[in-house]
Amino acid sequence: MNNLKIIGLACLILFLFNCSQDEIFVEEQSAQTTETIVEYAKRDGLKPIGSGVMMQAFYWDVPAGGTWWNTVNSKVADWSNAGIDAIWLPPASKAQNGPFSMGYDPFDYFDFGEYNQMGSVETRFGSRTELTKLIDAAHQNGLSVIADIVINHNSGGASEANPYAGGNTWTDFNPMSGNFYRSANDFHANNIHSNDSGAFGGYPDLCHNQTYVQDWLWNNSNSVAKYYRDVIGFDGWRFDYVKGFEPWVVKAWKDEAGGFAVGEYWDSNVSTLDWWTSTAEASAFDFACYYKMKDAFMGNNLTVLNDNMLWKQNATRAMTFVANHDTDEIINNKILAYAYILTHEGYPTIFYKDYEEWLNKERLNNLIWIHNNLAGGTTNILHADTDEYIARRNGYNNAGLVVYINNSDLWQERWIETNWSNTIIKDYTGHSAWEPTTQYGKWVKIQAPPKSYSVWSVK
């Protein structure tokens, strides 16, 4: 009899556990309807990519001399503590300009600073050993590492007779790594077609319809994608100049190699960005948001923040940014633009120079904390005029927030409707000392300092 009781009790516990697990699964599914879907890194111990903020860990013309990997290595622990979940590195393999190249003229995809070619052993950023030490350090601190992938064009090939061009072209690639030899057949024009979506800068334009190219870039067990992932240790991909090839290329790469993927589709048209992300099944940098912020903060007209952006169309695929290595046009009141992307939907990126040199790091760290702890759920714009912008995040697994951006020269105050009734709230930026109590109808008066912002939530 006692044994039967024990068995029955065990069955009951198992049943309740399974029901509990089912409830958790349902809750997690419902979260995906109101919150950005994060992609979990493959390696154990890493923060989910998309749960925090990405750091662009370089800028154009970082110091040459092979020191950059060590510089970034010295910062990953602090970035992780601040709430960064991933770092984006520049193209890491050997390029035509050797020790002076920023990597966007790729020559040997398998030389990370170990072969004496193109004028140096190391890349501009350092040696292969220094790169893998950096990636190991990032992983130890819970950070994923995103590789900048340049597969539209190549540079540094020798001249060869090209039957498709009626003369010689610079398409003879013989890398010292011994991997991915290329010839005229692998570029446009060739025996398949004369071109794809777009060439870049006069460089030889890779043909992704060639099976040989597909095999070396992503299909083979020793392909570029799998070598970056399995040998060097990268966790995801930032695809350069994706206008130059069809979106199926990114999808095929990701289907084969996995990992987080974001494309640089430089276009402010929201429908175009949404089409590309859906077809490529990858994220895209929200250039629509970037240009609206430029109009808002450089043009001093915050009403344009009412306009459509990728994060409003599909937040799960939107990478928001204020500046990067190619664009730095939002100069006036740049911190207001960061207050915008770090309180709104999408996956925000911080530019190295802004964080480490140009802006107030304490204020950025505060906004990163706010993003990671308060900025959940859907968004409602509560007010927008030339000088003022107020939006509410409705919360998911957190209280949500109200952000008040003030681009005027004076303190401003407004009554707004919150999600909180009879609740004390405070400004988590510390810019306002007010701690008002919301009314029974959830209304409350908040304020924001001149040329600044405040972010309100439950005390």
Residue 43: the pLDDT is: 85
* 146 occurs within a structural domain: yes
241 and 324 in a single domain? The answer is yes
Chain centroid offset of residue 115 CA: 31
Residues 419/371, Cβ–Cβ less than 8 Å: no
Q: Which helix (H) or strand (E) holds 287?
A: helix 287-298
Are 346 and 387 within one domain? no
Residue 306, φ and ψ in degrees, nearest 5:
-75, -20
Active site residue 61: no
Same domain, 253 and 279: yes
Mean pLDDT is lowest, of 2-6, 9-13, 20-24, 119-123, for 20-24
Q: Which of 376, 397, 421 is the last residue of a domain?
A: 376
Position 39 in a domain: no
Which of 264, 295, 307, 328 is catalytic? The answer is: 264
Task: Establish whether 195 is an annotated binding residue.
Answer: no
pLDDT, tens digit (0-9, with 9 covering 90-100), for 241-290: 999 999 999 999 999 999 999 999 999 999 999 999 999 999 999 999 99
**Coil, helix or strand for 198?**
coil
Same structural domain, 408 and 279: no
Q: Are residues 344 and 444 in the same domain?
A: no
433 and 357 share one domain: no
Domain match, 211 and 353 both:
yes
pLDDT value of residue 309:
98
* SS3 at position 451: coil
C-alpha to C-alpha distance for 445 and 440, rounded to whole angstroms:
13
Please confirm, yes or no, whether 281 is among the known catalytic residues.
Answer: no
Q: What pLDDT is recorded for position 380?
A: 98
In this structure, the answer to whether residues 305 and 390 fall within a common structural domain is no
Number of domains into which the chain is organized: 2
Q: Would you say 385 is a known binding-site residue?
A: yes
What tokens were used for 205?
A: 């334009």
Residues 296, 384: Cα–Cα separation, whole Å: 11
What pLDDT shows up at residue 414?
Answer: 98
* C-beta atoms surrounding 16 within 10 Å: 10
Helix, strand, coil shares of the chain as percentages rounded to 5?
35, 25, 45
Instruction: Check 240, 354, 356, 387 and give the catalytic one.
Output: 240
Cis peptide bond N-terminal to 189, omega within 30: yes
pLDDT band at 41 (very low <50, low <70, confident <90, very high): low
347 and 389 in a single domain? The answer is no
38 falls within a domain = no
What pLDDT sits at residue 16?
A: 39
Query: Is 189 found in the same domain as 123?
Result: yes
The reply to whether 185 and 57 lie within a common domain is yes
Model confidence pLDDT, tens digit, residues 13-39: 433 334 333 333 333 333 333 344 455
Tell me what the mean pLDDT of segment 94-112 comes to: 98
For residue 5, the model assigns a pLDDT of 39
How far CA 179 is from CA of 151, 156, 214, 318, in Å, comes to 15, 15, 14, 35
Mean pLDDT of the chain, nearest integer: 92
Range of the domain at 446: 383-458
Residues 395, 326 within the same domain: no
Q: pTM for this structure?
A: 0.91
Of the candidates 343, 376, 409, which is a domain's last residue?
376
User: Is position 424 within any domain?
Assistant: yes
